[in-house]
Amino acid sequence: MHQLRSKLFNKNKAKSLLVVLDGVGGIPRNNKTELQVAKTKNLNKLVKLSETGCHIPIKPGLTPGSGSAHLALFGYDPMDFDIGRGVLEALGLDIKITKKDIAIRGNFATIQKNGARKIITDRRAGRISTVENNRIVTKLSKKIKSVDSVKISFKSGLDHRFVCKLSFPKNINQLQCMIKETDPQIDGEQPFEPDNLNKESAKVSKILKKLLILITKILEDEKQANFVLLRGFSTYPNIPTFKELYSIKSASLTTYPMYKGISKLVGMESLNLDSNNLLGQIKALQKNYDNYDFFYLHIKKTDSYGEDGNFNKKVKVIEDFDKYIPSILKMNFDTITITGDHSTPSMMKSHSWHPVPTLIYSKNAFSNLSKSFDEVECLKGNMQIFEAKNLLTYIFAHSNCLGKFGA
């Protein structure tokens, strides 16, 4: 579909904004969802002028991770494309990943040695501070430069998290990177070895095992972070960019590393924010309006509070966003799309598969089918339930930049 969409695409001057309220969809608590409880007078006005529906992120009943849910929103079939978690984290930390690299999510952890046995006593090393993390990563970086012919680098994330990058002399692909994650996911267990899960990955596994020995020796004298757990071994995914597919300039306005990472992967430029919040995002949008064709604005906290099971704070984030709608409308976008990447019902404290309310505001909208922006009213719209990978086709159609299919 992204190839067909690319073929039919005719660039024009349309400006599009895609707002993703992460995990915005919910299920009812006392008969009402977070969106239904939220007081959103601006959204309620906007939805009546918009085309509406609910998207299914992947397929009916499937709960997505953030990466695949976003790929779908960006028009890629999440069944065909996959971003490894390591690559996502790396891009989010501004680490450049090429086709020669393997990116790995690392946790600092605490182990207790019991003879030859190592028992994990804290998978997060007591959630050491980011300052501590920086100190340890600097130490590792100084002492480990390479293993055999493979360059090794480290970068701190928040708290106990870091990214480790392996840079090979030649291109490496997903098949050569099927490695068992070393994190057993609970305390009190032994870590796993980074074994290869297929033949092609034998060489990578060997490097990783040598690397682990080096790291463990260097961390020996640390009290808390005396070990690392490695997950999400992944290579650079082969995803055609927005620029390649549509020759448009696209930009992202994100406050969290991972979403910045995803947007970079599809070729969006990540815009600098004066303040790392919605106000900063809106200001950057205004400032850069003339320079791009397509903007992606990501709001994280709806998902965070959903995951926490904090219904009321999730409502509050939606209400806060509502206040910025007049400023957004003033900018005069040709299409404004508001949706989530998936649902994160506070009632479930986790991502879910439930359909996600979606509105597309444009002069071509079949309007007035939904009276408010929520899970129930959006079902009444004429997009009904659709797969998220089709959203971009709708957005481009509303922007009048898709040619006719067939004679």
DSSP string, 343-373: B--TTTTS-B-S-EEEEEESTT---SS-SSS
Nearer to a copy of itself, 190 or 384 (CB): 384
- Which residue from 53, 34, 58 is spatially nearest to 337, judged by alpha carbons? 53
Provide the minimum distance between the beta carbon of 134 and a copy of itself in the complex, in angstroms, as a whole number: 25
Nearer to a copy of itself, 93 or 215 (CB): 93
Cross-strand pairs, 29: 32
Provide the minimum distance between the beta carbon of 164 and a copy of itself in the complex, in angstroms, as a whole number: 17
**Which residue has tokens 């055609």?**
240
Nearer to a copy of itself, 250 or 390 (CB): 390
Nearer to a copy of itself, 2 or 132 (CB): 2
Cross-strand pairs, 56: 387
Provide the minimum distance between the beta carbon of 299 and a copy of itself in the complex, in angstroms, as a whole number: 20
Provide the minimum distance between the beta carbon of 101 and a copy of itself in the complex, in angstroms, as a whole number: 17
Nearer to a copy of itself, 329 or 348 (CB): 348
φ, ψ for residue 19 (rounded to 5)?
-100, 125
Provide the minimum distance between the beta carbon of 60 and a copy of itself in the complex, in angstroms, as a whole number: 4
DSSP string, 105-153: EEEEEEEEEETTEEEEEETTGGG--HHHHHHHHHHHHHH--EETTEEEE
- Interface with a copy of itself (CB under 8 A): 1, 4, 8, 27-28, 31, 54, 58-69, 71, 78, 82-85, 88, 232, 345, 347-348, 351-355, 364-369, 375-376, 379-380, 382-387, 390, 393-397, 402-407
Going by their DSSP bridges, the two strands 146-147 and 150-156 should be labelled as antiparallel
Provide the minimum distance between the beta carbon of 368 and a copy of itself in the complex, in angstroms, as a whole number: 6
Residue 113 to residues 139, 160, 186: CA-CA distances in angstroms?
22, 20, 17
Nearer to a copy of itself, 28 or 184 (CB): 28
**Which residue has tokens 């939606």?**
318
